[in-house]
A and B are shown apart, each in its own frame.
Chain A
Amino acid sequence: MDAIIRTVKEFILTKFLPGEDPQSLTTSTPLISSGILDSLATLDLVAFLEDTYGIELAAHETDASRIGTLADIAKLVTSKGVVA
Chain B
Amino acid sequence: MVWVGDFNRHHPLWDDHSSARLFMPANLDAASVLVDLVGTFSMDMPHPAGIPTLETFRTGSLSRPDNVFCSAPLTPAFIECQTRPELRPARTDHFPIVGTLDLTPERSVPAARRSWKSVEWDEFSTSLSDNLGAIGQAHPIQDKDNFFAVFNLLTAAIQSTTDQHVLETRPTPYTKRWWSPELTRM
Does A associate with B in a complex? Answer: no
